[in-house]
Amino acid sequence: MTTQEPTTAAGGTSWTRRLGSARLYLGALIVLVWGLGPFYWMAVTAFRDPRYTFDNTPWPTHLTLENFRDVFDTSRGTHFGQAVINSIIIGAITTAIALVLGMLAAYALARMAFRGKYLASGLILGASMFPVVVLVTPLFQLFTDLGWIGKYQAMIIPNISFVLPLTVYILAAFFAELPWELEEAARIDGATKAQAFRLIMLPLAAPAIFTTAILAFIAAVNEYLLARLLSNDSTQPVTVAIADFGGNNPHVPPYGSTMAAGVVVTIPLVIMVLLFQRRIISGLTAGGVKS
């Protein structure tokens, strides 16, 4: 009897581990289906013949590229190709400016002691929580007076104010975790604060910078409300262009074309994340202090 108890206990422990692993994989599968399910159905609808848009078959059927041809067809007044370029311009400029300002502000909040530090953090947090709809009327009036309606800066400047708090908080948290010893060693070797920041801290913060850049770019590209009011036909981004799609029948929304446009916009973002994923993960373990 006593010789079999360890075997039973070991068997119970093994069964418990298997059950725990099964729960883990089941949870991951649920999250995966929940996250990728809408994108999968969007892709299925995008490649499906418009006559079978409402077909409930869960796998691709009646495959065609007609919806993608409609997306780039300019005969109905929709210039989706130009809208994609506009979104890239707005997103890239917004991300670049937000990263430069965000890195400096995050470094100051994480590594320096000054009066009003916590007040500045609170103001940044408050700015990130400010509702966009409240800003629509004053921004529209301001940019109308400046003659900026329909120009890129009318969308870039507000986007910077929305993206900057996110940039500051992500980078500030990362800078706070970096070892002080490396910066102090650079200062002892004669480097100034600016040189230590540029030559030591920025390379170590590369993973957070890439991650922040991706999130900031996606946030800038996804903005719709202000772009709807502040852009025109030549500067509207993809979010506005997709909303303005019109089909052959004015009483039936072009679901297939809308889904195809969503696929065209989403695929480059997914590719960008996959391309930077290896560098982000490898950079997280680089630059540590070796004993």
Domain boundaries, the chain: 5-66, 77-244
Q: How many CB atoms lie within 10 A of CB 18?
A: 10
Q: What share of the chain is helix, strand, coil (3-state, %, to 5)?
A: 75, 0, 25
Q: What pLDDT tens digit does each residue of the chain (291 aa) get?
A: 445 545 555 556 778 888 878 888 898 889 888 988 888 999 999 999 988 888 888 888 889 998 888 888 877 667 888 999 999 999 999 999 999 999 988 888 887 777 888 888 888 878 778 788 888 889 999 999 999 999 999 999 999 988 999 899 888 888 888 887 888 888 888 888 788 888 888 888 887 888 888 889 989 999 999 999 999 888 999 999 888 876 666 667 788 888 999 899 888 878 877 777 766 565 444 444 443
Coil, strand or helix at 58: coil
**Per DSSP, what are the bridge partners of residue 48?**
63
The alpha carbon torsion through 18, 20, 25, 29 (nearest 10 deg) reads 140
Q: Residue 230 CA to chain centroid, in angstroms?
A: 22
182-191, long-range: CB < 8 A, 24+ apart: 182/287, 182/289, 183/111
Give the pLDDT confidence score for residue 83 in this predicted structure.
Answer: 92
Provide the residue count of the chain: 291
Return the structure tokens found at 193.
């604060």
Residue 286 is predicted with a pLDDT of 42
pLDDT value, residue 285? 46
Q: What pairs with residue 63 in β-bridges?
A: 48
Contacts of 47 (CB under 8 A, 6+ apart): 60, 63, 64, 65, 67, 260
Q: How far apart are CA 63 and CA 246, in angstroms?
A: 21
The CATH superfamily assigned to 77-244 is MetI-like (1.10.3720.10)
Instruction: Give strand ranges (E) for the chain.
Output: none
CA distance 232 to 153: 13
- As given in the structure block, the two tokens for residue 178 are 């970096």
- pLDDT for 288 equals 44
Taken in order 181, 179, 202, 162, the sign of the CA dihedral is negative
